C-alpha cells in the first residue's frame, strides 16, 4: 500500500550524523557507541536510521525482539542488543542474530537451556544489572549464582555487562547517580576477577555522557541525543533537530465575527478571521491539549495558533495575519524549540512528542547531499 499522505515526517540523516559526532567528541577514542533505535528510532524510522548508521556505530539497541527482526530483514549487519526479550522470543532472537539482555536468573536459566538444545556456540548475551532504577536487572547478590551457572559453558559468551541510570539528567541526584556508578564498578570487578575473558561494560545514556563522561566504560548508549536533545538548552543548542513534521493547507475559510470553528464550537471569532485546515490530528500524535491556542504551527515563517479542539485527523489554525494559500507548506515542528514548546504544553517530555508520531504519517529519510 502506497502512503502518499501529504503530511510527512522528515528524518534528517545529516543531523543524525552531526549529533553522533558531537557525542563522539566527548568520548575517549576507543569508547564504542551504541545507537538506540527502539520505538521506530524514537518515532522516526528505525529501519532507515539503522540502515543509515550501519557502518557508523558499533552496536544498535532495540527494546523488543520484533524490532530487531525488522532491522535484520532490512539488511542491518551491526550487532543488535535486545533490551527486553522474553523467553518465548528466543527462537526469533537467535534466528535473527539478535543479542538478548539477560536480566534475571529465570531468563538466564531458560536461555542456557535453549542454547544447549539448539547447539549454539559462544552466543553473545548481555547481563543487565539493577543498580537503583528497579526496572529490569540482576541484583548484586545474584553474581555468584550467575558465575556458577555459566562457568565453563561454551554455548554462550557474555558480550557485555551493563546497567542503566535512573536520573542521569538531574544534577540534584548526583549523589544517587555516583552511587549507581560505584555499585556498577563493584559488579564489573567481580566478573573481571572470575571470568577468563573480558566482557564489555556500559552504563551511560545520553545525559550520562553529558554529566558523567568519566564513567564511559567500554561503550555508551546514545538515544535522545542522537535525535537532537541534550539535557539542557545549552547542550541542545549544539545538536541538530532530526524530526521535521510537515504538512500543507487543505482549505482556507474566511469567517465572520461570532462564528465558531470546530467541534463543540470551541473557538469563537472576535473579528473577521482566516482559518486554515491542516491534515493532522490527535490520531497522529497531536495531543488535544494543544487546542485552544496552546499549540502552533509555522506557515510562511510565522506562527499560526491551533484554534478550537484538535480533531482526530485535522487541526484548524488562525492565519489571519499570514499571507498564504491553500496547498502552502505547514511546519508542525521543525526545530527543537517547537518540540520543547509542544512538550511543555502537553505536560510531557520531548521523548514522548517524538515517539507519539503515529505510523499513519509518511516517513521520508533525508540522506546526505
Ligand atoms: C532507552 C534507553 C537508552 C537511551 O536513553 P537516552 O536517554 O535516550 O539516551 C539507553 N539505555 C537503555 C537501557 C534504554 O532503555
Given a contact cutoff of 8 angstroms between Cβ atoms, the answer to whether 247 and 279 are in contact is yes
Q: Is the CB of 222 under 6 A from ligand 1?
A: yes
Mean pLDDT of 312-326: 98
Mutate to test the pocket of ligand 1, among 39, 46, 83, 220 (most ligand atoms within 8 A of CB): 83
Confidence band of 368 (pLDDT split at 50, 70, 90): confident
C-alpha cell at 78: 551491526
> What is the average per-residue pLDDT within 217-245?
97
CA of 36, closest atom in ligand 1:
4
d(CA 245, CA 60): 25
Would you state the pLDDT for residue 3?
A: 78
What are the φ and ψ backbone dihedral angles of 111, each rounded to 5 degrees? -70, -40
Cβ–ligand 1 distance for 224 under 6 Å, the answer yes
- Domain 31-228 CATH class label: alpha beta
Is the pLDDT reported for residue 331 higher than 80? yes
Q: Where are the domains positioned within the chain?
A: 31-228, 243-366
C-alpha cell at 164: 542503566
Give tens-digit pLDDT for 55-69: 999 999 999 999 999
CATH superfamily, domain 243-366, is Lyase, Ornithine Decarboxylase; Chain A, domain 1 (2.40.37.10)
Instruction: Answer left, alpha or beta for residue 327, where phi above 0 means left and psi between -120 and 50 means alpha.
Output: left
Count helices and strands (H / E) in the chain: 12, 19
Q: Is 128 in the pocket of ligand 1 (CB under 6 A)?
A: no
On the question of pLDDT at 369 being above 80, the answer is no
Q: How many residues does the chain have?
A: 369
* pTM higher than 0.85: yes
pLDDT in tens, 154-173: 999 999 999 999 999 999 99
When the pLDDT of each residue in the chain is averaged and rounded to a whole number, the result is 97
Give me Rg for the CA atoms of the chain.
24
Q: What is the pLDDT of residue 2?
A: 74
Helix (H, G, I), strand (E, B) or coil at 6: coil
DSSP 121-176: -SEEEEEEE-SSS-SS-B-GGGHHHHHHHHTT-SSEEEEEEEE--SSTT-GGGHHH
pLDDT tier at 135 (50, 70, 90 boundaries)? Answer: very high
DSSP assignment letter at 87: G
At 5 the pLDDT is 86
pLDDT at 240 over 80: yes
Q: Are 110 and 117 in contact (CB under 8 A)?
A: no
Expressed in angstroms and rounded, the spacing between residue 5 Cα and the centre of ligand 1 is 31
pLDDT, residue 327, reads 97
Q: Is 36 in the pocket of ligand 1 (CB under 6 A)?
A: yes
Does ligand 1 have an atom closer than 6 angstroms to the CB of 221? yes
pLDDT digit string (tens) for 259-292?
999 999 999 999 999 999 999 999 999 999 999 9
Amino acid at each position: 500500500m502506497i502512503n502518499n499522505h501529504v503530511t510527512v515526517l522528515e528524518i534528517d540523516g545529516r543531523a543524525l550524523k552531526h549529533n553522533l559526532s558531537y557525542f563522539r567528541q566527548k568520548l575517549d577514542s576507543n569508547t564504542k557507541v551504541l545507537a538506540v533505535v527502539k520505538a521506530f528510532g524514537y518515532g522516526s524510522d528505525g529501519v532507515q536510521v539503522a540502515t543509515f548508521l550501519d557502518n557508523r556505530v558499533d552496536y544498535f539497541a532495540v527494546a523488543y525482539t520484533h524490532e530487531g527482526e525488522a532491522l535484520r530483514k532490512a539488511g542491518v549487519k551491526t550487532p543488535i542488543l535486545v533490551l527486553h526479550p522474553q523467553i518465548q522470543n528466543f527462537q526469533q532472537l537467535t534466528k535473527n542474530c539478535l543479542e538478548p539482555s539477560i536480566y534475571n536468573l529465570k531468563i538466564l536459566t531458560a536461555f542456557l537451556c535453549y542454547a544447549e538444545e539448539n547447539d549454539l556456540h559462544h552466543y553473545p548475551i548481555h547481563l543487565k544489572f539493577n543498580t537503583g532504577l528497579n526496572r529490569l536487572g540482576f541484583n548484586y547478590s545474584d553474581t555468584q549464582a550467575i558465575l556458577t551457572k555459566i562457568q565453563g559453558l561454551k554455548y554462550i559468551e557474555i558480550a557485555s555487562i551493563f546497567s542503566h541510570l535512573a536520573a542521569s539528567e538531574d544534577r540534584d541526584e548526583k549523589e544517587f547517580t555516583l552511587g549507581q556508578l560505584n555499585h556498577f564498578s563493584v559488579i564489573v570487578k567481580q566478573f573481571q576477577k572470575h571470568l577468563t575473558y573480558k566482557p564489555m561494560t556500559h552504563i551511560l545514556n545520553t545525559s550520562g555522557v553529558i554529566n558523567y563522561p568519566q564513567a564511559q566504560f567500554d561503550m555508551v548508549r546514545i538515544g535522545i541525543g542522537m535525535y537532537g536533545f541534550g539535557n539542557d538548552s545549552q547542550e541542545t543548542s549544539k545538536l541538530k533537530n532530526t524530526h521535521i513534521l510537515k504538512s500543507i493547507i487543505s482549505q482556507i475559510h474566511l469567517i465572520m465575527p461570532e462564528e465558531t470553528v470546530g467541534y463543540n464550537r470551541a473557538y469563537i471569532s472576535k473579528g473577521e478571521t482566516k482559518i486554515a485546515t491542516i491534515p493532522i490530528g490527535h490520531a497522529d500524535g497531536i495531543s488535544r491539549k494543544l487546542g485552544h491556542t496552546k499549540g502552533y504551527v509555522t506557515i510562511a515563517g510565522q506562527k499560526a495558533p491551533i484554534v478550537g479542539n484538535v480533531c482526530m485527523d485535522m487541526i484548524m489554525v488562525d492565519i489571519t495575519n499570514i499571507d498564504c494559500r491553500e496547498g502552502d507548506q505547514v511546519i508542525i515542528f521543525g526545530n527543537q524549540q517547537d518540540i520543547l514548546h509542544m512538550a511543555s504544553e502537553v505536560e510531557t517530555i520531548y521523548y514522548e512528542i517524538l515517539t507519539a508520531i503515529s505510523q499513519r504519517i509518511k516517513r521520508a529519510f533525508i540522506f546526505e547531499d
